[in-house]
Amino acid sequence: MGKTVVDVQHVSMRFSLSSEKVDNLKEYFIKFVKKEITYNVFWALKDINLKVNKGERLGILGLNGAGKSTLLKIIAGVLKPTEGSVTVRGVIAPLLELGAGFEPQYTGAENIYLYGAVLGYPREFIAEKYDEIVAFSELGKFINVPLKNYSSGMKSRLGFAIATIVEPDILILDEVLAVGDAKFKKKCEAKIQSMFDKGVTVLFVSHSLAQVQKICDKAILLEHGQVIAQGGIDEVSAIYEEKTK
Tens digit of each residue's pLDDT (9 = 90 or more) over 30-80: 766 777 666 677 899 999 999 999 999 999 999 888 899 899 989 988 889
Sequence-separated (6 or more) residues with CB below 8 Å from residue 185: 177, 179
pLDDT score of 148: 93
Q: In terms of DSSP H, where are the helices of the chain? A: 25-33, 68-76, 108-118, 123-137, 152-163, 182-197, 209-215, 233-243
Tens digit of each residue's pLDDT (9 = 90 or more) over 111-122: 999 988 877 888
pLDDT score of 141: 94
pLDDT score of 61: 93
Tens digit of each residue's pLDDT (9 = 90 or more) over 115-161: 888 778 889 999 999 999 999 999 999 999 999 999 888 888 898 89
Higher-confidence position of 86 and 94: 86
Mean pLDDT score across all residues of the chain: 87
Task: Tell me how far apart the alpha carbons of residues 151 and 199 are, in angstroms, rounded to a whole number.
Answer: 34
SS3 of 229, please?
strand
The residues that bridge with 85 in the sheet, in sequence order, are 9
pLDDT score of 124: 95
Higher-confidence position of 86 and 178: 86
SS3 of 192, please?
helix
What is the DSSP code (8-state) at residue 151? -
Please tell me the pTM assigned to this model: 0.79
pLDDT score of 179: 64
Nearest to 57 by CA among 194, 204, 166, 230: 204
The residues that bridge with 29 in the sheet, in sequence order, are none
Higher-confidence position of 7 and 98: 7
